[in-house]
Amino acid sequence: MNVRLLALLAAFSTAVIYGASYTIAKDLMPVFIKPHALIFFRVIGTAILFWLVSFFIKREKIERRDYGRIVICALLGTSVNMLFFYKGLNTALPIIASAIGVATPLMVFVFSLIFLKEKIVKTRILGLIIGLIGAFVLITYKQDLEGDSGAIIGNFYVFLNASFYGLYLVIVKTLLVKYNPIHLVKWMYTLSIFIVLPFSYKEILLVDWIAMPRPIYFELLFIIVFTTFINYLFNLFALTKLKPTTVSVFVYLHPVFASAYALLVGSDSLSVVKVSITLIIFIGVYLVTKPVKTTTVVK
């Protein structure tokens, strides 16, 4: 099997894993593990796995001036964002949550405009407006939620996760140029253990490990090992062998697989509104991320 095909398979696998993880996480929460406790287990488990892998990679010394940026990246990309995500997913529907998550590239563009002074392009601004309108409609969507305002708050938390992660992707770029991603991520997850612990320790004590069914243990391992660790390695491998634009296309598959898995196990249902608004978000993300001619730049 050639390397390009392996890279495509890795990128495809990440979409499948992410899609399934929305429903699997909801199987865990809140009956067996509360949202913040789940984040702690995910963070500490991932940190251990990355530390193990890092022993096989040449050691690197982190420059003191980069400590602050790494802490910020840990806050935005591996702790606070997940605190919002799992708290939101606790009440949000899997299909809607996965569609809102696709809005991350929109937020990357917003923060690139603010911090990287990226040029304002008409097509991308249009895509941003379209995508954010779609996200707003999904966040406030209540048709099959029996009027539960908690679901709307949950949807908003998922959007906050996408926003924080978008900012993280902008800030972490300079660090990825200087350091091996494995070493960088291991330190971010290590820091995140101490960031999330104050929010999680009460919920950790509530976990009844003896009463927990065996399938729940496997689902917890799936979230720790596959959703975070394996997916990161797969995505990193895909990025080294494929163009970033090629890898980014697989983001569109996350809601597809999330919907398929949720429908398969009966944790969610499709509707015309969900499908149509998700497509609107897709259009917005496509316009924001596609290459544009410099002649369309607004002066």
The pLDDT score that the predictor gives to residue 267 is 77
Q: How far apart are CA 171 and CA 165, in angstroms?
A: 10
- Tens digit of each residue's pLDDT (9 = 90 or more) over 109-129: 899 888 887 788 889 899 999
Residue 196 has pLDDT above 90, yes or no: yes
The pLDDT score that the predictor gives to residue 163 is 94
Q: Give the domain extent around 154.
A: 3-296
| Mean pLDDT value across residues 257-280 | 86
Confidence of residue 294 (pLDDT cuts 50, 70, 90): low
Distances (CA, A) of 93 to 10, 262, 283, 297: 27, 9, 22, 38
Q: Which helix or strand (DSSP H or E) is residue 258 part of?
A: helix 253-265
The residue type of 6 is L
pTM greater than the 0.85 cutoff: yes
- Tens digit of each residue's pLDDT (9 = 90 or more) over 138-147: 888 765 444 4
Please give the mean pLDDT across all residues of the chain.
88
Confidence of residue 298 (pLDDT cuts 50, 70, 90): very low
Q: Which of 150-154, 161-165, 180-184, 275-279 has the lowest mean pLDDT?
A: 150-154
Nearest residue to 202 (alpha-carbon basis) of 77, 35, 24: 35
Nearest residue to 288 (alpha-carbon basis) of 172, 118, 173: 118
Q: Write out the two tokens for 46.
A: 């991932």
Q: How far apart are CA 221 and CA 54, in angstroms?
A: 20
Q: How far apart are CA 106 and CA 21, in angstroms?
A: 22
Confidence of residue 237 (pLDDT cuts 50, 70, 90): confident
Q: How many domains would you assign to the chain?
A: 1
Residue 245 has pLDDT above 70, yes or no: no
Question: Considering the chain, what percentage of its residues have pLDDT values greater than 90?
Answer: 55
Q: In the 3-class helix/strand/coil scheme, how is 66-135 assigned residue by residue?
A: HHHHHHHHHHHHCCHHHHHHHHHHCCCCHHHHHHHHCCHHHHHHHHHHHHCCCCCEHHHHHHHHHHHHHH
